[in-house]
Structure 1
Amino acid sequence: MSNDIATEHIPMATLPEEQRRLMERIGPIWGTDIGKHRDLVVQTYTPLLERQPDRGVRATRNIAYGPHERHKLDIYQPEGGSRMPVVMFVHGGAFIRGARDVNAQIYSNVARYFARKGLLGINVGYRLA
């Protein structure tokens, strides 16, 4: 397992100038229009995440763990691994909004990241209130 889990990231400095300035501008005013600002962040980071390598990661998606249609999870496993630590990601939303994945990149990127580092990554969906 790699030791650099905490150090690998997509730094703001690698964003195109226009996108970097946008992220810097909305940071302090995030709470004034969360929906709009969330959409801008998703639009900014999705193309960057699409370029992240998935080599060596096997995805098993839509595994039911309960009776509700939203009781599903996705498992991202490093190829060739057997016994390994597990990281579970559960999206935010106060149990009233949100989903396991915003799009093909946003939230699954968390579990895929850990799988690339030798951990079993699980992305969990849940029933909303």
Structure 2
Amino acid sequence: MSVFVDGHNSWLNEHVESCVRSHVPRVIFVDDVAKIPAQAPATFQFCSGYGLSPHFGVLNASRTSLMNAYPNSDALSRKDCLGKIVEYWAAKRPGSTLRKHVPATAQLSLDYSEYVEEALAAADDLTLLSSLGQGGHR
């Protein structure tokens, strides 16, 4: 199987590759979608969703192919959030039909890691510190 992994969130790529490697022993990873052999017997693409024309070419030429493309990181966050909500709902209500109508979701993000850099930058911001100081005097 030929695999191309280049998602919008670079921190996720190595986890996706590790997961694929654990399930597909004879996997060939490529760093450019153009390097996937023409008419490959099986392909998997995990991509960001931008500029998909070459990806669809590979998808159509392969005998067996799967492509997972997210147009932006917000879609991944929403899917992750929906999966968590369904999990909580079904845990509290085991007889609920919701679990049967929503596909199983593998939780891929931890504490919405795509926003960690922004959160760290905000934590270093002195306006946050002064705002917290003012809040303590009220």
Smaller-chain TM-score bracket:
under 0.3
Which entry has the higher C-alpha Rg, 1 or 2?
2
Which structure's residues are more often strand, by fraction?
1
Select the structure with the greater relative contact order (CA < 8 A; seq sep ≥ 6).
Answer: 1
Which structure's residues are more often helix, by fraction?
2
TM-score of the two chains, using structure 2 as the length reference: 0.26
